[in-house]
Amino acid sequence: MNRKVRYLCYLHLFIGIGALFGGIAGMLNPHEPLGIPIELLEGSPFSSYFIPSLILFTVIGLGHTLSGITALKNSKYQGYISSVFSWALMIWIVVQCIIIETVDFLHVLYFILGLAGAVLGFMVLFEKRQFPANLFHKGQSL
């Protein structure tokens, strides 16, 4: 396993396991998970943290965990899988900040982690000469 894929593995497992626990916490206590006040959801489409926690658990948690496992198995689709779930994390963070009208350190940190995953995923695609990164190789015709 090359260094980029190993970093992707660690990154995805770190994000995925954290999101699994956060999602479970929100589903088990949807009105104040981990001490987060329900007032943050005022004006949002959600009356509790259950639905956002379910999305966090499935898309971010299971998705990143799956991506970490596929990196361990050195999947030929790793660049695509990493890119998709890294972009999902960045979109998740942006939507969350819009809904709760707040940006804090963890939002910035996880956005940067998502960006790092997307860049590493693209680098894997480039290294394997897979679409769309193959369009950037010298001598490659469209």
| Rounded distance between C-alpha atoms, residue 94 and residue 111, angstroms | 8
pLDDT tens for each residue of 77-127: 888 999 999 999 999 999 999 998 899 999 999 999 999 999 999 888 888
Domain boundaries, the chain: 3-136
* Spatial CA neighbour of 61 closest among 94, 16, 26, 115: 16
Task: With beta carbons less than 8 A apart as the criterion, state whether 71 and 9 touch.
Answer: yes
Instruction: Enter the pTM of the model.
Output: 0.87
With cut-offs at 50, 70 and 90, classify the pLDDT of residue 43: confident
Supply the pLDDT for residue 136: 67
